[in-house]
Structures are given as structure tokens and as C-alpha cells.
Amino acid sequence: MMLLNSSLPAFMNYILATAYGLLLAYTIIRILLDTHSTAKALGYILLVLILPLMGMLIYFSFGINYRHKKSNKKRTIALDEFTKSFKGSVPDDTKELLKKYAGSLDKYYDLIHFIYSLGSEKLSVNEFKLLTNGEEKFPEVLKTLETAKHFIHMEYYAWENDTRGNQIKDVLLRKIKEGVKVRIMYDDYASRKMKHNIVRQLKAGGAEIYPVIKIKLVAIANRVNHRDHRKVIIMDGHTGFVGGINVSDRYDNSIDTGLYWRDTHVKIMGGTVHNLQRHFIVNWNVCQPNKLSVSNELFPEVKEIADKGEVQLAQIVAGGPLYPLSPIMLSYFKIFTVAKEKLYMTNPYFIPNDSILDALKQAALSGVDVRILMPEKSDSAVVGAASKFYYEELLQAGVKIFLYKKGFVHAKTVVADGDLSVVGSANMDIRSFDLNFEIMSVIYGAPFAKQLEGAFLNDMKECKELSYESWIKQSTFRKLTYAAARLVSSFL
């Protein structure tokens, strides 16, 4: 043992060995109790065994979120309290809608109940607008914000100090002068570039704006495992936006940033906005002192959507460290197992756990046309290499993999069987399943699904398809690189 020293008396070596053994045992116990991911727990245990003192130092420095335990406990209490108030005060038409659309929703009856049971995620009638890339999203957002009468709520992972970032800021400042309440939450690390100007200007103009999790030292921000990865806007309680597009010029291809950026958002008008609002308020009530409660202003009666003879329903699924059952992962899994004919998924960061991997293989082996669209070149070398580790067994099972070549695809979407859609912020990895605050819309109905499927098929034109025969010819060195990246990815 490295701690033993032949120049020290025997009893000192005994004391050192005993102390080291106790510290090692304590560290392993902490890893087992505090690290829910099996892969991550195993990785840390191997690290402290192979690099005794250095491994422990790494774990206690980066593996434990000391400050967030208290924060997550507060958020869990806030979630429970607000959910009870929400259920008791806001109308829930789920049972009536299931009866009304019984014939159309039969195949999704179990899925709807499953999502509902994850957190009272009620089913609501809505209108939807698919927004492809920033050049469609930002004009729609700016136009919609101009119509706000009572309040604007925004929760964003990344907000840049650039053209689009400042355009939205300017609209918000004008609306505040008109008497509109503006409340904003942002991720303190990802949005750090706007803290010294946009945040100050919004505060000076009367906006309430706070980081979801305050970071004091950006230099050690990699210790902050919990990030707010949501991209949400709620206006007057009846209109909302959710998806993968941050507030940044890079997502808008009408602004030349040097790289074509492919992403997806959805505008929702209807009762589902109430659940977006509910999850916004839970985080809001923890990150700042002025708590919000259920009221007619925040949860107004939503005007009835005209019956067009086709299903236009949705639920919201929220995830994060305060949700004990990994709702994002479980919802993805359930959707993959429900698909009967087609399952088309776009996701930029694909590092699935065993459950997701098995669900995709099971679907393909059952005859479902499973297609996964990912970027040919990731913006993270490690994540890109880790994703490739899973290609061989997916291709072998019959899953079709398409690599997007035109630029970087950042959309997080699923469309199944021509009548079920998902648009949200969640990637297909451990971070989105368990660590980040995420949110996604699950949309039932052919009108929107046909649009989303059309966008997917259009994106396929910019892809190259992998084949099992060519992929297995990868060199042993490349396969070893992918396997090593897969192990490292559990720490990301």
C-alpha cells in the first residue's frame, strides 16, 4: 500500500493502514448510497480503488453535489405542495377527454394514464404550431410576446448576448412599461454571457430575473451536475413555447454564424400551458423569495378550442433531480414500446441506458420501422464517440441510423405511427434522465404528427445512412475508442 513507509514505526503504519481502510470503506458507502447510476457508481468505485487517494479526492470534489441536496429537498417540498394546490384548483378534463376521443385514443390509453400517474400531467385540448429552427421560432416568439396583457414567464438554459437575445430583452422591457409582469429564470452557467448586461438591464427595467441554481465560481462550474436545461415561455396562461431552441443567434440560420443549426420547437395554445406553468412555478418558488400560488390570473380559464374533427391533445412531462422516478426516461421508454409501425427519433446526444436501448431493439425486432437521426459530427468529441459504441447492436437489431451532414442537428423529437409526437428539451442520456431540469410535450393527433414526420423525412435527405455490414468493419482501435468514451460518458 502506498501509504505504508518502511522508515516509520510499525504501529504508525498500522494506524495509517487502518485510517486508509476506514476512509476507503466510507467513500465506497457514499458512492453506493449517493450515486443512482450503476455505471457511474461502478466508475467511481474503480477510480478510488485504482487511484487510492487521488480517486477519493476526485470523487469528493466532483462527485457530490453538496449544495444541491438542500436545494432539491426544497424543490421536492415545493413540487408536492404546489401539485396538491394545482389539483385542487385547476380543472382537469382528462377523464372526459378520454371518453370523448375513446376511439382515437384507444392505443394510447395506457400511455396517457402512465404519464398522468407520473405527476398529475393532465390531458388537454390545444392548437399547435411546429417551429423549425430559430428563423421560424424567434419571429413567432417576438410577435407573440408583443400581445401579452398580464404576464410573461421564461425559463431558459442558454440566453446569449447577441441579436436575438437583445431583441427579446427589448420586447420584454417595453411590455413591462405597459404593466406586464415579467418573470425569468435562467441557467447560471450556460447563460453567463448575458449576466453583466441583459440581466442588469432587465432588472433595472422592472423584470424579476433569477438563476435557477446560483453559481458563485464559474471556474468550478463543472461541479454543478444539476442544470436547468429547459427552454420554455408562458404568456398569459394560455400560450406556451417548448422545445430545444435556446435564445441564441446560432439557432437562427437567417443570421450567418458559420454553421447550419437544425432544431425544433412547438407553440402550444390551450390547456396544456397550465402544466407548463405549474412546473415553472415550482422552480420559481425555490430560486427566489416571492412565491407564487394558484390564482385565476396565473391559471386563467382557457377558451374552448374549436373541434376540427381530429384529435389535438397533449400532456407535459417534466424531469429533474427532484422527480424520483425519472419521468423523462420512463416516458421515452413507454413511447418506444407503444409504437406499432413507425418510430422516428431525432436526438443530438445519444447515450442510452439499458432500458432505452432494449426498448429500441425490441421495437425494431418486432417489425417497427425504427429510425434514429443524429449529427454526423457532434459538438462534443467524447459524446460523439460514446454514441457510436451503441451503433453496432442497434444496426444488428434492425434499427436504421442516419447521420445528419448539413450542419448540427440539435432537435429532440419523436414521432410514432403518424399520430404521436414528442417535442422537448431532453437528450437521450443520463444527464437528461436524472440530473438536468428538463421538459417535453407529448402530443396526440395526426395533424401535428404529419408535420413533424414530414420534417423528419426532409432532414433524412441531408443524411447518410449507416449499414451494419460497413459499420462492423470499423478497426479494433476505433471500437476501443468508442468503448472508452462510453465509460467516461457516465461522468459527464
Q: How far apart are CA 450 and CA 403, in angstroms?
A: 22
Residue 80 is among the residues annotated as catalytic for this protein: no
Which of 90, 412, 439 is closest to 283 using CA atoms? Answer: 439
DSSP string, 122-136: --EEEEEEEEESHHH
Q: Of 249, 417, 429, 434, which is the active-site residue?
A: 417
Q: Of 236, 263, 419, 434, which is the active-site residue?
A: 236
Residue 187 is among the residues annotated as catalytic for this protein: no
Cell of residue 486, nine digits: 462510453
Q: How far apart are CA 484 and CA 220, in angstroms?
A: 25
Q: How far apart are CA 410 and CA 479, in angstroms?
A: 25
Torsion sign, CA atoms 290, 92, 441, 128: negative
Helix (H), strand (E) at residue 315:
strand 313-319
Residue 263 is among the residues annotated as catalytic for this protein: no
Residues contacting 60, CB < 8 A, separation 6+ = 27
Torsion sign, CA atoms 108, 110, 115, 121: positive
Q: How far apart are CA 114 and CA 116, in angstroms?
A: 5
Q: Of 153, 175, 226, 229, which is the active-site residue?
A: 229
Residue 229 is among the residues annotated as catalytic for this protein: yes
Q: Of 238, 274, 412, 459, which is the active-site residue?
A: 412
Q: Of 153, 226, 410, 419, which is the active-site residue?
A: 410
According to DSSP, residue 153 is labeled E
Cell of residue 292, nine digits: 407564487
Q: How far apart are CA 381 and CA 395, in angstroms?
A: 22
Q: How far apart are CA 352 and CA 252, in angstroms?
A: 29
Cell of residue 299, nine digits: 391559471
Only one residue has cell 504508525, namely 12
Residue 238 is among the residues annotated as catalytic for this protein: no
Q: How far apart are CA 462 and CA 143, in angstroms?
A: 31
Per the CB < 8 A criterion, the answer to whether 270 and 302 are in contact is yes
Strand, coil or helix: 262: strand
Residue 429 is among the residues annotated as catalytic for this protein: no
Q: How far apart are CA 130 and CA 243, in angstroms?
A: 10
151: phi then psi, degrees, rounded to nearest 5 = -155, 155
Which of 288, 271, 106, 255 is closest to 185 using CA atoms? Answer: 288
Return the bridge partners of 463, or none.
404
Strand, coil or helix: 147: coil
Instruction: List the catalytic residues.
Output: 229, 231, 236, 410, 412, 417
